[in-house]
Structure 1
Amino acid sequence: MNPSWGTIGRLATVASLAWAMAAPAAAQLKKFAVQGGAPVPYVAFAPIYIGQQAGFFKEDGLDVEIRYSSGAPQATQLAAAGQADAAMITVEPSINGYEKGIRGKIFFATNNQLIYYIAVPEGSPIQRIEDLKGKKIGVSNFGSAAVPVVRAILRAAGIEPGPDTLVPVGVMDQAMAALQSNNVQALGLFDGIYFGLERAGYKFRYFKHPTLATLGNGGMFASDKAIAARRDDICGFGRGFAKSVVFMLTNPEAATRMWWNVSPAARRGATDAEAMKNGLPEIISTARTYDLGFPPQKRYGVIDQVRFKSYVDLLKQEGVIASAPAVGELVTDSFIDCINQFDAEQVRKVARDWKG
């Protein structure tokens, strides 16, 4: 999750999730705190909200609470310090933080693409990455995790970024103002922002990393201590998340309403039909980033360790980290078998029959 959230805050409101665990059996549930890498409810957390409302976490005896933070770095730090059981983040802070003493691992890859990429308006004369030579690209801020990826995309096309190639433009309305005024000719942001802009009616042409575009850089992080002490609970949380993705893909309309329950401000439209027309594409786009083709194609949570290493190497090449830790110090696949032990068709039936 990116640390720039000025306008996203206007799209979401902190709402009570009192319905999530309001059952007599709640006293028997174990608390499980997930630190989200954003300061407010965010559509990327939709599978957690769905799992709460559909009862998927309760099926594994968990009372899951999502907490919010300034961004992925803070979320990682809190989970590493034991102040949360897991964190839903982009992976960069767990990589960057290793040399600063962060000890924990990504135990579940959540998405199927590198969320950072370059966008130009659909009507732009820029047709190829090579056409970006000499152009300015807007990024949310210079500390954004998108920056090294944008630079690497340019370098892969033979373009050496100059000191003024990247320009801080913020996100959402601010970014579009910079683009429409021609202060920048392209944007280097992340998928959640693009989904929101698309929902607002903007159309883009996208340029992605030539070899890492399908490496998901979103994941679930837990400290080494939590992994040792709460294995069953971490597995149950991951399984509930995976079930929620299946639900989301099966019934995106219901998933949209669940998202509105958490963030009423995301419901935009004079009528229910208009609100659904506006909101559904964002949920569908989000769901597609989490779609790993659950059986028979693939299993949820699997981390491509070879390409993960390539991403770590990219961060080193771009000067983000001084040395590249061994991949085994950063990720674990020890939960994957457990997480995928559920009946996907039964979850799809729950989704199809959902009346909430």
Structure 2
Amino acid sequence: MITRRSFTASALASVPALGLLGRRGWAQGMRDVTFVQPSPSAINSFPVFIAIGEGYFADEGLNVRVEAINGSGAVLQALSAGQAQFGRPGPGPVLAARSRGVDAVAIYNVAARSNFGIVVQDGSDIQGVEGLRGTVIGTGTADGAEVGFARNVLNGSGMVEGTDYTFLTVGDGGPATAAFLNGEISAYSASTADAAILNQRGMAVRDITPPEFARFFGNGIATMGDIIRNDRGLVEAWVRAHMRGHAFALDDANREAALAHLAAGNPQEGEDREFQSALFDAVRSKTLPVEEGGPLGLYPAEVWEEWQASLVAGGEIPGPLDDLSAAWTNDFVIAANAAING
């Protein structure tokens, strides 16, 4: 039988969204922790919601509240302002923030395979990235991870923003559908979830992203450098619980329990069970390690180098960071893997 733990809605005054509070979190001695995600979807942050539902965070003494805000830029702002201890931004926004002096550090590679792609309407004449010259490309947010990803892909084809193409912030879901139908955009930089939602709503789209960009990992867990330095035990506890939630979700024997926890986290996503299940499969597939059987959550150093090069080429950061290695770490993932798997 699936055990449903109760959740209580709440919101930060400055970060309006949804909140979740594990039932066991009311026990004395539990530490309150806030996690910010760049959209309301529970499925996109499935390891967190499953770790809440299965009690893995509670096992670590953590009472986790989830807040949904708009895009990776807002996630990093909340982290740097001390409104949250952990978040799920994209790698491009993390590097851009660090170029401005924000000491954000990526600690867990959730979307080990790119969870973004450039999509066009299924009946579009555009067959590849070259067909996007002179077009307008829609994005969900102005400064989210999907923007950096699309700019990276287009730079790879020798295109320059503002000269060969332009971005237009249109939102996701219904607004993105309307932008396609109204002819405002010819393509859309979409997450795996965004593309699934468009298809579900009758806006059939297809991905034209060159396959070599699959290596560009997507959003992952980040925290602040001062938390790592001053509260290392908190980060270790978070990563252990998160990894357990991630591993639980990858086991098909746990599928029904996982979907129940995700429905508790976002009831709207759970209303259509068939769609919820298909979206979960699509998002989950992007979190598998690129090397089959490899540890969960590890970052490849060479792809961080490629992300940085793309941001420099696109003008998103003025030049290479003084110390790119300070932007990310595998230390906590390695330690968690050893603690969980021996």
Q: Is the shorter-chain TM-score for this pair beyond 0.5, marking a shared fold?
A: yes
Per the TM alignment, residue 280 of structure 1 is displaced from its structure 2 partner at its CA by 0.8
Per the TM alignment, residue 308 of structure 1 is displaced from its structure 2 partner at its CA by 0.7
Aligned residues: 323
Per the TM alignment, residue 319 of structure 1 is displaced from its structure 2 partner at its CA by 0.6
Q: 1:160 to 1:92 in 2, by over 3 A?
A: closer
- Kept in 2, the 8 Å contact 1:249–1:284? The answer is no
> What residue is the counterpart of 2:93 in the other structure?
93
- Kept in 2, the 8 Å contact 1:33–1:86? The answer is yes
Q: Residue 318 of structure 1 aligns to which amino acid in structure 2?
A: G
- Kept in 1, the 8 Å contact 2:119–2:205? The answer is yes
In 2, Cα distance between equivalents of 1:158 and 1:75: 30
Q: Residue 109 of structure 1 aligns to which amino acid in structure 2?
A: N
Q: Which moved more, 1:62-71 or 1:107-116?
A: 62-71
- 1:61-116 CA distance string (max 9 Å, x none): 32222233343223223323444322222223321122322113111111122333
Give 3-state SS (helix, strand or coil) of 2:73's partner: helix
> What residue is the counterpart of 2:255 in the other structure?
252
Give 3-state SS (helix, strand or coil) of 2:127's partner: coil
Q: Residue 121 of structure 2 aligns to which amino acid in structure 1?
A: P
> What residue is the counterpart of 1:150 in the other structure?
150
What percent identity do the matched residue pairs reach?
20
Q: Where do 1:58-207 residues align within 5 Å? A: 58-140=58-140, 142-159=142-159, 162-163=162-163, 165-168=165-168, 169-207=170-208
In 2, Cα distance between equivalents of 1:106 and 1:36: 14
Give 3-state SS (helix, strand or coil) of 2:289's partner: coil
- Kept in 1, the 8 Å contact 2:140–2:171? The answer is yes
Per the TM alignment, residue 302 of structure 1 is displaced from its structure 2 partner at its CA by 0.8
> What residue is the counterpart of 1:265 in the other structure?
268
- 1:247-302 CA distance string (max 9 Å, x none): 2222333322222212222233xxxxxx32122111111211222279x7111121
TM-score, reference length from structure 2: 0.82
> What residue is the counterpart of 1:313 in the other structure?
309
- 1:97-137 CA distance string (max 9 Å, x none): 22322113111111122333210223333333333344443
Q: Residue 329 of structure 1 aligns to which amino acid in structure 2?
A: A
> What residue is the counterpart of 2:49 in the other structure?
49
Q: 1:252 to 1:123 in 2, by over 3 A?
A: farther
Q: Residue 291 of structure 1 aligns to which amino acid in structure 2?
A: L
In 2, Cα distance between equivalents of 1:231 and 1:299: 21
TM-score, reference length from structure 1: 0.80
Q: Give the unaligned 5+ runs of structure 2.
A: 1-15
Q: 1:206 to 1:175 in 2, by over 3 A?
A: same
Give 3-state SS (helix, strand or coil) of 1:28's partner: coil
Per the TM alignment, residue 209 of structure 1 is displaced from its structure 2 partner at its CA by 5.1
> What residue is the counterpart of 1:277 in the other structure?
274
- Kept in 1, the 8 Å contact 2:145–2:218? The answer is no
- 1:215-268 CA distance string (max 9 Å, x none): 213121121211122222212211211221222222333322222212222233
